[in-house]
Structure 1
Amino acid sequence: MLHILWLILKFILIILGILLGLLLLAVLLVLFCPVRYRVSAVKTEGDWKQTEGEGIVSWLFHGISLKAEWKDQQMEISFHLFGIPVDKLLKKRQEKRAVTEKSGAEKISVSDTGVNREEENKKSENIEAEDLRTDKNSASGTSADTERTGNSQISGQQRLNTDDISEDTLKKRQFFIKRIRDRIRNIFQSIRTKLRNIRRTFRKIKKEVSWWKAFIEHPRVTAARKLVWKHGKFLFKHVFPTKIEGQVTFSFEDPALTGATLAVLGMTIPFHKNCVQINPRFEGENYLQGNIRAKGRIYGFVFARAAVSIYFNKNIKYVIKRWKTRRA
């Protein structure tokens, strides 16, 4: 009995060890297996329709890859999982479903035609019977309407004779005067309330501005802001392509604009380290031709390290705590 229990416990421990090992492997792959990307663009002589571009993002040693290609003014996206084209398989399944749905709809439409004809015949018979009923009701209704109109004319004449009293006119005048007074009072009251609300809003804005000023100028907040800026710059450098190469030839109708663009592009040399050759042409025409290729990699542990160092910083915790108390 103990031997059987020991075997069961041993089997459970082996399964737990395998699961923990797989989990540890997945964490290590996410942290230390880089996400690689490659981008390229080509612009030949002619209009912008001849521009071509390609971008590939891969992970797990190209086991998982996503490719986007722009060619002939069309975007083509393909997803591969360990060499298997997943997008093509999904398209084939959708096509099969569409074919089966069309065949089923055709069968249903053929079976429903006979039923629809019988229903149409029944509806036509019911409509004819209802028309006969409405004709009878309309004939009886017209006679009753004539009698009612005659009675209403007699009663209207009697009311006109009784409404010629001066007291009613006085009451109406007093009522209109009171109504005008009430409207004027309401207008003045609304103006007062609006002025009070404007004063309150200005006071609130003043308090908010003073609070934000004290919050931003606090030394612990400035330290937290510097820490976030430091890690942000490091992450930007890490995500930026490690290799850029290519050549660009351009010109504008105005040579002065070509020179200004060349000056601006010269400021980008520290980023690509003069690996992109820029060739200006001062021929007085709009011209652009060239190709650019770039590639880089992104490690997960870099983002994890930055997130841990930011989250567990005392200044960051102080900022979060003060923000929550402000919003509470």
Structure 2
Amino acid sequence: MAVLLLILKIIGIILLILLGLILLILAVVLFVPVRYQVSGSIGEKTTVRIAVSWLLHAVSWRAAYEEEGFSSQLRIFGITRKGKKPDDGEPGEDDREDGAEEPEERSAADAPLADSEQKTEGILADGEQGEAERFDERQAKKVCAGAKEPDPAEHKELEQANPAVRRKQRGGLFRRIWERIRAFFAGLVRKLRQFRAGIKEALKKIKDVRTFLTDERHREALPLIFTELKYLLTHFKFRRIRTDLTFSMGDPALTGQVLGGLCMLPFLYRYQVQVYPDFEAENTYVTGTFDIKGRARGLHIAVSAVRLLGKKEFRIWLKWLMHR
């Protein structure tokens, strides 16, 4: 009997330890925040850096977008896994190193053929010299016979004086003009067809969105989703926003309207947001730096998920979406 009680006691202790570990892991997942930071610069060289960490950087993910490309790095409890990263070395560097020894090998391999190549070159040189002498003799005979070489300028004048040549040139000019006109109208027709197809595609998308919004299932579920999104955005507050941006919309009136719209956002006044409008620029641009830092807890996501799943309308909509 005492042995049985001891076994039950050991099993109970093990179960309590497992339950405590599960509760600890659940509490860590729900209450330890996920910290994120997004920073970079906009202008001639656009760079974006993203850093996400959780549990004192036990799990972290870093990504960067620069001129060289996109690179990322994932670290989980000290194990690092790198994502896509641009090559640091210059292309073809290994090929140049491997090819540096080729001239020596080629010279060593072709050394026996040097004498034969020199002999061949000598024979060719003698042949060319003999051909040159025969050419001089023929020219001398032509000069002695009073032969006269045609002048290129006179030949061109004769071709222009010929009516058939003039008609051919005129026909070629008209043909080129006609080809350009036909290519212009063909391109115009192609652009009009593309524009028409784009309008049809946009109208189809608008119709799909309207059908999506007017459906009874969506009308009941979407307000619930928007409410929970508002709740999440309220709790996922930014701890820091620092910007130093200069922008222009290319039109002073439009630039002023955008600035007025930004001034109507009350949450921006709580952070160090500095935006400078440029009313004199004639083109649209945005330059400057930005730094955004914040955190999010899994508890709020769990609360939103539980509340949504508790609504019958959302469950019906989710079932329809999964079986679509």
TM-score by length of 2: 0.49
TM-score by length of 1: 0.49
